Amino acid sequence: MKIKGFEDFEPFIQLRKIMGAEKLGSFELFDPQRQITYSERELLEQGTFNIESSRLKILKDKTIAFKNTRLWLNWSDEECFHLAACEHVQKRRHLKANFIAGLNQPNNKTVCLECLQLLKFDGLDARRSRRLDLAETIQKEFKLADFQKEYPFYPLV
């Protein structure tokens, strides 16, 4: 069965005129249960999004996501930000505690080395990274933008 296009279907042409739609277009269905909303995105970009641990997902690659977006996590008494389900994040999740989440690199915070080791980011491996100076160099030179090339934050596919 072949379905005809409706571009020339007179009732739709009339409806389009009534609506004031001059061109044919398309739309994407938005589901706020599965996709981040504008206000959530604003808070994530500011790094001030407060999120319950039950709303987080751990992806197959061990990174952390909320709805259709990867993100970093932090909490009030934590010195570094987390990009993966490391032991510190897992303990806090089991306590059902809240997190602060964001998309942009946070100021005055370093990345969690355990997260980078878990992801084997930049060749960092927990068993082979006995050399503290190598791990500290990777931590000091870490750029979230470089991380996002390998692990895009938005949208998740």
Closest CA to 47 of 111, 88, 107: 107
pLDDT at position 74? 97
pLDDT at position 37? 96
pLDDT at position 136? 81
What global pTM score does this model have?
0.80
pLDDT at position 128? 59
Give the residue ranges of the chain where pLDDT is below 70. Answer: 126-132
pLDDT at position 129? 52
Asked whether the beta carbons of 117 and 124 are under 8 A apart, the reply is yes
Length of the chain: 157
pLDDT at position 126? 63
